[in-house]
Amino acid sequence: MLRFAEAAAALAEIERWLLPPACLLCEQPVPAREGDALICGLCRSRWRPVAGPCCERCGQPALGDLGCRLCADWAPGLMRVRSAVWLEGTAREAVHRLKYEGWWRIAEALAEAMRALEPLTGQVSLIPVPLGKRRLRERGYNQSERIAAALGAKLALPVRTDWLSRVKETRTQTALPPEARQANVAGAFETPGVAGAACVLVDDVFTTGATLAEAGAALLAGGAPRVEAVTFARARLPVQL
């Protein structure tokens, strides 16, 4: 058995030498030290982190002494949101590959970029933002659930897919202007009850936060004492004064 395992490992090394895996984003060979990663370290290093100072609640970069207008109209519930990188360049391409091209294992690289986000400290439960049934059938999986599963494995945190459900089919948020997004997701989520559980919502992209805020309100109504959220990327919005 040991000899068979050694032979299999040797064949795998030969295969890698003859056919080295290529990065999905830059199409260059992935170094052997990075194993079977789908996105190489060089591409990941080019993702631009979302840096402070920022709004304490929604995580949007602060505009001097001006108050944050992005989360001013959010319903109570969601206390804090943090995002890892800006949605631009190869970070945008990675999200596209995850959501629309079936490359669900990219979630591992996205989760690695997210693992140090502040809401992920302590004893929290990860709750992926659920998709509607129609979109789930079309895509075959929930990209937020894949990211949450990768985060849970890296940080030894529980992932609860049964604590939040989408009960209203909504139009895709990407097709709507910011002012229409909140109305689109109103009443979209419900929970069977999460009394006493500190919850962290997990999603791929933060734009206006309308979906996360509505999901957070549902969890608060279900008994969660604290609801926060993390996303891989954050879209840049026009400055509104």
pLDDT tens digits for range 140-156 = 999 999 999 999 999 99
| pLDDT confidence bin for 21, thresholds 50/70/90 | confident
Q: Residue 31's pLDDT is what?
A: 87
Instruction: Return the structure tokens found at 72.
Output: 């001013």
Percent over 90 (pLDDT), the chain: 57
Q: In whole angstroms, how far apart are CA 42 and each of 45, 46, 61, 121, 138? A: 5, 7, 26, 27, 32
Strand-pair partners of 159: 126
Cα distance between residue 127 and residue 124, in whole Å = 10
Average pLDDT for 1-13: 53
Average pLDDT for 116-131: 95
Q: What is the overall mean pLDDT for the chain?
A: 85
Query: Residue 233, SS3?
Result: strand
| pLDDT confidence bin for 177, thresholds 50/70/90 | low
Q: What is the largest CA-CA distance in the chain?
A: 69
pTM of the model: 0.85
| pLDDT confidence bin for 55, thresholds 50/70/90 | very high
| pLDDT confidence bin for 230, thresholds 50/70/90 | very high
